[in-house]
Structure 1
Amino acid sequence: MQLFALGLNHHSAPISLRERVAFQPEGLGEALAQLVRERPVREAAILSTCNRTELYCATEQPELVADWLADYHRVELKHISPHLFTLPGDAAVRHMFRVASGLDSMVLGEPQILGQMKQAARQAEAAGTLGTLLHKLFQRTFSVAKEVRSTTAIGANVVSMAAAAVKLCERIFEAMTEQRVLFVGAGEMIELCAAHFAGCTPRQLTVANRTPARAEALAARFGGDAVSLDRLPEVLARYDVVVSCTASPLPIIGLGMVERALKARRHRPMVMVDLAVPRDIESEVDSLDDVFLYTVDDLAHVVESGLGSRQQAVLDAEAIISGQVLSFLHWVEARDAVPAIRALRSQADAVRQSELERALARLARGEDPASVLDALSQGLTNKLIHGPTQYLNRAEGAQVAEATELVRRLFNLDRS
């Protein structure tokens, strides 16, 4: 079975397509089980974030994995094929190392992706689809990411998604201290955004979530208040900034809801940041004159400053990754040789045991120990070199030189 990385991300596909093939966290386990059950896949893991849906698999037929991905999401394969990438072997290993290190992120060096990859590994392990190969690869991936972050400046001055959201708002409003901010959702991304916005001391900070207890707990951390998600249409008009990131498969903020909020605000501008994939805010909202709607794809333009200063860090990180790719591939090759090594050791031990039993029997009969030891050593030598000698004797023509070179390298023979 060969290793493959297959999927699409913000480099290869627009958000409108990425959201169609995103996996819901609660359904990942069953999706993995279905994949290995219905396709010739021995091991599998799925990484699904706002920027990417990627499958890491041990299989000989990656095209059947692409076919399954389309079937699972009820999308015609011809619609996603132009945007899919398939990376085999060393390219797949390098890709995973780069993703975990933040080199492939929309925001260079962002740290969240490492936690998301660890979660992908945990979900695959729980689903029973994480075998020896992928387990080793994930562990090596985490180790490489740690080395990159601890020995290079890739994490210096990182503009995270959360910080980028703040920067976008600051482009519209002169002072965040006068603005009211509403967070829709209470997950990790919203928590990070809340921390960044709280640092700007906005006039009001509110969290809306389906689970009131989670909303209240998060709001309390930043001195804000909480509302139930079903009150969203009622309270939306009060807020100047709306940041949304939920796991809802369908938009929860529609065009009509926003139009009514703008009318109540007398068309004072609103900034809406949609960090969810699939999107939480209907795309038609972007057509409204008084709304500045940003998606995860828009955040890429916020990080231009600071990229130049991190270019040397990127080169350093790529050098680390290249060395670690070779190291991992060496482990894979060594793993492929394990059955042959075991067979060789087993055969050698059988020869040793046979000669030892013969020697002990002769000693028991009272034969001279020196003669017995000499016969033991000759017997071991003859049997251990029988295979290579026979191999050389059977070689003919051009094969003789090749066979001779192989035996010399195997047994470290002095060419002189």
Structure 2
Amino acid sequence: MSVDVLTFGLNHVSAPVAVRERVSMPLDLLKPALDGLRSAFGSSVKEAAILSTCNRTEIYCAAEPQVSERLPSWMAEFNRLEAGSLQPHLYRYQKNEAVRHAFRVASGLDSMVLGEPQILGQMKDAVRVANEAGALGTTLHQLFQRTFSVAKEVRSQTAIGAHSVSMAAAAVRLAERVFGDLSQASVLFIGAGEMIELCATHFAALNPKQIMVANRTLERADLLAAHFMAKTMKLSELPDKLADFDVIVSCTASSLPILGLGMVERATRLRRHRPMVMVDLAVPRDIENEVGRLADVYLYSVDDLGRMVQSGTDARRAAVVQAEAIIETRVQNFMHWLENREIVPAIIDMQQAADRVRLAELDHARRLLARGESPEVVLEQLAYGLTQKYLHGPLAALNQSEAAEREQLLALLPRLMPGVSRRR
């Protein structure tokens, strides 16, 4: 059975955050997921890697073609969802389309923020985990190495990432729409990862009245806070201190909401209904969706910021055309490599068959020499024997062929046997 490169999943275009958060996988869950995938499909899936971010969860496989039909059921079952519930949101790519998708994702062309650089690092993390899990082989290893190379080429040769409006900058703009000048605002960051650091950098540039970092472990919070002259607190203190903050930006790896409706309601009462901007960049979400119904709370999800960011991408549209051209060339190069790999077994068989003939004729020549035959005669017989056996296959195929097949064989002869010309 032939093996294809397959890509399967959902992203910010095909699925809302309410769906994406149900299939999102933190890094520590990727290995169990890969183990479960390979156990479920057996030898049908030769290699696999899973990429899961706020904006997408995708499976990359080197697998038998029919696997793509069964992947939706596996993903639903693994995430304890009803069979078929994901179907309207899923996409599947095979062969060159799958390769093109991988190249576009790594280059930032498929991102919510056109040209954003974080996705490349996230893809490298996914590949590292897959490699550590023993789920990568020659095909996907080559695919991802070329993917990283294409992403580097696109970023160095085009302006795809220039003047990008980041999610962090969008969060600042949303807060400014409500409060105007943020110099008198108190800002709380929940989490201490890369996205929170980016947001903190943007907000700190406006010199807010107070910056606080809340995290499950204070050591990481302290490390981040030191960069911005900020204070820190534990997540357990949130119920008592939430009302002190005008802007809350949250992005953790929690599988359950950190800020519930009841906690935020109490905070708004204590604030005497002064407005509160809440930006939830996490998938799964950190803030219960019902919080957005409160009159004094302006709740924005990662999708809301994405729509805002999209309006600032016009200046980079021209670079997309150039980037797509680079990607198309590299897709063709990879497919050529992949197709060549498919004939490797046939080449090995041919070499082994030729070697058997060589050894048999050589053994025969040695026996003749041992009996005292003239070396010149033995060499003549050796050359004749090799030539006859070399020609036996092509001659037999020509003699046994019918008219249409014979025409095809005659057309191929000059390519298979250099020096032979087709004569009428």
| Smaller-chain TM-score bracket | over 0.9
> Is residue 49 of structure 2 the alignment partner of residue 45 of structure 1?
yes
Of 216, 221, 228, 1:215 maps to 221
Distance apart, 1:415 and its partner CA: 4.0
Matched with 2:273 is: 267
2:167 and 2:309 in contact (8 A); partners too: no
8 Å Cα contact 1:167-1:302 kept in structure 2? no
Note if 1:414 corresponds to 2:408: no
- The corresponding residue for 1:388 is 394
After superposition, residues 103-252 of structure 1 pair within 5 angstroms as: 103-252=109-258
Q: Distance in 2 between matches of 1:80 and 1:363?
A: 75
CA offsets 1:294-331 (integer angstroms, 9 cap, x no match): 11101123224542221121111111111111111111
Partner residue of 1:17? 19
RMSD, aligned CA: 1.7
Which amino acid in structure 2 is aligned with residue 170 of structure 1? E
The alpha carbon displacement at 1:77 in A equals 2.3
Amino acid at match of 1:13: A
Q: TM-score when scaled to structure 1?
A: 0.95
1:54 aligns with 2:54: no
Structure 1 regions of 5+ residues with no counterpart?
none
Post-superposition shift, 1:367? 4.6
SS at match of 2:206: coil
Aligned partner of 1:89 among 80, 83, 95: 95
**Superposition map of 1:207-356 within 5 A:** 207-356=213-362
Give the match for residue 74 of structure 1.
80
Amino acid paired to 2:143: L
Aligned-pair CA distance for 1:67: 0.8
Q: Which amino acid in structure 2 is aligned with residue 16 of structure 1?
A: A
**Counterpart contact for 2:72–2:84, Cα < 8 Å:** no
What is the rounded CA distance, in whole Å, between the counterparts of 2:358 and 2:203 in structure 1? 73
Q: Deviations over 1:356-401 (max 9, x none)?
A: 3444444555554444433333222222121111111111132111
Describe the superposition over 1:251-305 as per-residue Cα deviations: whole angstroms up to 9, x where unpaired.
1101121122122222221111100111100111111122111111011232245
Conserved 8 A contact 1:168-1:302: no
Offset of residue 352 of structure 1? 2.4
Unaligned runs of 5+ in 2: none
Using structure 2 for the length normalisation, give the TM-score.
0.93
Deviations 1:155-199 (A, max 9, x none): 111122222222222222322222221110111211222222222
1:92 maps to a residue whose letter is A
- Greater displacement, 166-175 / 76-85: 166-175
CA–CA distance in 1 between the matches of 2:205 and 2:98?
Answer: 39
SS at match of 2:403: coil
How far 1:139 moved relative to its partner? 1.3
DSSP-derived class of the 1:196 partner: helix
Pairwise CA distance, 1:63: 2.3
**Alignment correspondent of 1:377:** 383
Mapped contact 1:7–1:54 kept (Cα < 8 A): yes
Residues 3, 56 of structure 1: 8 Å contact kept: yes
CA displacement 1:215-242 (0-9 Å, x = unmatched): 1111112211110010011111111111
- Distance in 2 separating the partners of 1:395 and 1:360: 37
The SS at the match of 2:248 is strand
Amino acid of the structure 1 residue aligned with 2:29? G
Residue 5 (structure 1) aligns with: 7
After alignment, is 132-141 or 269-278 more displaced?
Answer: 132-141
1:411, distance to aligned residue in structure 2 (A): 2.1
> 1 CA distance for matches of 2:183 and 2:106?
36
Counterpart contact for 1:39–1:65, Cα < 8 Å: no
Percentage identity across paired residues of the two chains: 58
Match of 2:38 in 1: 36
Q: Distance in 1 between matches of 2:228 and 2:407?
A: 76
User: Bigger shift: 133-142 or 364-373?
Assistant: 364-373
Report if aligned partners of 2:113, 2:310 keep a CA contact under 8 Å in 1.
no
Query: Structure 2: which amino acid aligns with 1:404?
Result: L
How many residues get paired? 416
Query: Is contact 2:212–2:225 with CA below 8 Å preserved after alignment?
Result: yes
Kept in 2: contact 1:184–1:246 (CA 8 A): yes
> What is the distance in 2 between the residues matched to 1:27 and 1:218?
26
Distance 2:184 2:415 in 1: 77
Separation in 2, partners of 1:69, 1:123: 19
SS at match of 1:153: coil
- Paired residue secondary structure (1:79): coil
**3-state SS in 1 of match to 2:292:** helix
Distance in 2 separating the partners of 1:342 and 1:399: 25
- Name the SS of the counterpart of 2:192 in structure 1: coil
